[in-house]
Structure 1
Amino acid sequence: MKQRTIKKPIEIVGIGLHKGVPVTMKLEPLEENMGIVFYRKDEGVTIPLKIENVVDTKMATVIGKDGVIISTIEHLLSAIYAYGIDNLRIILDNDEVPVLDGSSSGYCLLIDEVGIKEQEATKKAIKVKKDVQVKTDEGKIVSLKPSHHIVYDFSINFEHPVIGEQEFRFDYSIKEYKENISKARTFGFLHEVQYLRSIGLAQGGSLENAIVLDDNKVLNPEGLRYENEFVRHKILDAIGDMALLGYTMIGEYNAHAGSHHLNHLLTKKLFESEENYEIVDLDTAEAESKVFEMAFAHAN
């Protein structure tokens, strides 16, 4: 199996979720073995997608370099990672990725429109070899464990009548991602939105790009896209955060009440020891190559 990029550039204009300011973003094909690279053209700063460049994980995943940041990258990365894209240049003229409708489905549509280009170099994957876990005193847990498949299993428990306890297990394929994960929107509570706006965040948030709940119900007039849209969006976020590994993961991700911060700690912990993982060449690793061929069969 070969590395992937997009066939031609994509350009869109949108607004950032937290700053609410317009941003123009262009996705460009990139040469083999270059990885995912962000570029702030207004600042002239290139920020490679690497764990060491993560600078904040409180409300979103934020990367930065030399005092220049790019925020809320997880939805875009989720789509890029889901399509198995290895090499891509992401050019922005502001500090936040467009939120679109609060999901990653718009990015999937854009990638489908231009198409995927297979390159000459061999694709590599990161295979989880040992269990790795991060947990908190409050019972929040994220973990990676060995598997012959690509699996994301997430559970949440909110004291809210619309959410409650939810769990979703996602056995990865691009077809299933587009249908069951990419359409799930980010969500927030009305009292939180009001507080965030008071401190200069969530300025671009609206019913057009997020699910908003008051104490009893969903405020969006169209309702939910799935009954368990909330936990599905958590998986969407987790897939985007795992893009920081630099390679598509072969293994099982499990989480209860996970977050961007815990996902970041998990990726760091995986790399603490070479006993935890293996970088596999998909031209020579036959079993792993078959996993990817099935997963990405509908991504061309």
Structure 2
Amino acid sequence: MDFDSFLDRAWTDHAEQAAAVAERLIDPGLALLHQEDQVLPLAALALHVHGQHLGRWAEGLAFQQRLAALPLVAPEGATAQSLQRFAAVLRLAGGLADERTGLGCSDAARLTAMAAAALGVHDIGRARALLEEATAAVQANALPDADPAVRALAIAGNNLAGALEDLPVRSEAERALMVLAAQTGRVFWARAGSWLETERAEYRLAKTWLKAGDAAQAHHHARSCLDIVQANGNVALEHYFGLEVLGLAQRAAGDEAAFAQTVVQMGVTFDALDEGDKGWCRPTLAAFEP
């Protein structure tokens, strides 16, 4: 197995097999590293798995430090700096240390946002506090759209909302944070991304409101998602999933006639998909059809 195949498989498996993937990061993961540009993709996966999925802060920190010690990594290079940031995120999220003192606003806000995402479902109170702190810092200091902290908040909002959506049930505090996180993702993807990321943030918001039990809000954001897609060339794959979340909102609202029409539209859009996309998109349509 080569590194790229290993990484793709690990990302595919990590949500349902997080502990097993954490073991595979070491063996065979480390042995498959042959060049420096492979280190950060592995480190990012490790941060996500050890943090958001497992909450194993010390274990994650040890792995990041092991990567930093590899001969492949130039001690003062960009990869080493990113690994130091990942380690600081794990320390902050895990309550091991707060290394933000002395950092500039951008670096501190970026680290804070990443720690909020890493905390995920493990400590709702701290995750919310960190997300709000990072948001306030970016806004108070008028950081430009291209600043890495803006993108970090967009990613953190999306990932945190997704993690909370995956819970089988949610407390009121978890529901509130899920909505806040999805809204944060939408605000900051509009600044840090293209129409594509903004549209997908609307999709995330629609899914979030469905999990929150508000079909009307879900319908509103599904429509916004589709409006953005239509304004930007009506890309078939994006249109397809916009219709999916619209159908879910219609079904949740009990609007069977509108739902049936949306399913027909999904079928038409499915036929326009690239052949490579049809295989993994087919189950979504099949779940809607009688």
- Which category describes the TM-score, using the shorter chain as reference length? under 0.3
Which of the two has greater helix per residue? 2
Greater Rg, structure 1 or structure 2?
2
